[in-house]
Amino acid sequence: MIDHRANTPSAHRTNWAGNITFGAERLYIPTSVAELRDVVSAGGALRALGTGHSFNTVADTPGALISVAGLPRSIDVDSRAGTVTVSAGLRFGELTDTLHRHGFALHNLGSLPHISVAGACATGTHGSGTGNRSLAGAVRALEFVTADGGLTSMERGEDDFDGAVVSLGALGVVTRLTLDLVPAFDVQQCVYEGLPQDRLLDRFDEIMSEAYSVSLFTGWHGGPIDQVWLKRRVTDGGPRTAPAEWHGARIADGPRHPVPGMAAEHCTEQLGVPGPWHTRLPHFRLEFTPSNGDELQSEYFVAREDAVGAYEALDRIRGDIAPLLQIGEIRSVAGDDLWLSPAQGRDSVAFHFTWVPDTEAVTPVLGAVEEALAPFGARPHWGKVFTTAPDTLRTLYGHYADFDRLAARLDPTGTFRNDFLARHFPRTS
């Protein structure tokens, strides 16, 4: 008899932030694709569980959770094709050093290197940079187990591929992904403080294009931007000397944490010291593994040309935002063609909010934020907390109905459906 390592979860199995307690009766951790297919084909409600970094119920189910972290670890670099094929349960931080040693890099990374490759791609997670797509934008092919236990693969250019990458776990359990690579590069990271708000609004595009990756951190207090993190590629000319002042902001005199008052020892190296891409593009070091996050997170994407208007709309309700905010972050994301990507069809700017861990207090503020951003067609991040109505979301994605039909075709019995999907993609037939 195959041992699927089924465990009965306690009532305390939660997501990373602790705001969601999973309702699953069992957790399966198969150690081979054959075992995984056996589990899925046995029937019953199932959901794939990544590293638990989503802040809503997208991964929840009353049935069983499946972790692919137990599948054989594989990192297959194809130097000629410029790709890497990886097992889906790998975290980005487990992959990047190997890529660098082979002379390659991923085009971008998220703030945390601790998130799983499959989970990040399935929810449209991203880094920052005017020309940088989300992490899912690097996916060239993927393999997944469908509801009948079959093993399916899709490649870029095939029908429905653009609907299968940011899939919210609705199509099956991803087992492998093939990602595009770029040549390895070095980055130097500098932090500036006190960027005048009027300068930001007057020169928004210029400022957001100043480096390979730019992050603005603000407490939405009505004053200057607290911090600007500039991650510059080191070119053939070597590292750049950072000026003491930049657009009216002052260079930080030491390492900084994005949240005021927090120690910076867990953040990636700053002060302009050059280093490999994977040690600078994330905000936090791989060796610092967060055990839990005392926070809630939300994020909303608007078209880049609407970013200044969206900023001004949020600034008008800063009195609602600031008291419940730990820190806000503003980043740019290049557009892509993936059906459910929040950056689908448009270069975007993402407004991120790290809230205090108080769902009851934060929820009405989410409503105010969404109302302020409604004129700009703001799309919420699928893995974070939001209250945007399903009927509104349907109008924001040109392929919403296409995805609904794809999910119904690949999972006709609703094996991978849960309350989150039923709410946002209700099936009428």
The reply to whether 410 falls in a domain is no
Same domain, 344 and 324: yes
Q: Are residues 211 and 282 both part of a single domain? A: yes
Write down which residue in 153, 184, 215 finishes a domain. Answer: 184
In a domain, 259, yes or no: yes
Residues (pLDDT < 70) of the chain are 1-12, 289-293, 428-429
> Residue 428: which H helix or E strand, with range?
none
The per-residue pLDDT for 18 is 87
Rounded Cα distance between 398 and 88, Å, is 28
pLDDT confidence of residue 71: 95
Report the pLDDT value the prediction gives residue 292, as an integer from 0 to 100: 52
Q: Which of 184, 209, 227 marks a domain boundary?
A: 184
146/228 same-domain check: no
Q: Is residue 151 part of a domain?
A: yes
Residue 290: predicted pLDDT: 57
- Structural domain of residue 235, as residue ranges? 186-390
Question: Please, what's the b/e burial string for 260-288 (b: 16 or more CB within 10 A of its CB; e: otherwise)?
Answer: eeeebeebbbbebebebbbbbbbbbbbee
Residue 166 lies in a domain: yes
Residue ending a domain, choose from 184, 207, 233: 184
Q: What is the pLDDT of residue 400?
A: 95
Q: What is the pLDDT of residue 288?
A: 75
Alpha-carbon distances, residue 340 vs 167, 297, 344 (angstroms): 7, 19, 7
| 242 and 157 belong to one structural domain | no
Predicted local distance difference test score (pLDDT) of residue 215? 97
- Residue 237 in domain: yes
Is 39 within the bounds of a domain? no
219-228 pLDDT tens trace? 999 999 999 9
| Same-domain check for residues 97 and 225 | no
pTM: 0.95
Same domain, 157 and 211: no
Decide: 355 and 17 in contact? Cβ < 8 Å. no
Question: What is the domain count for the chain?
Answer: 2
Query: The domain spanning residue 127 has which CATH number?
Result: 3.30.465.10
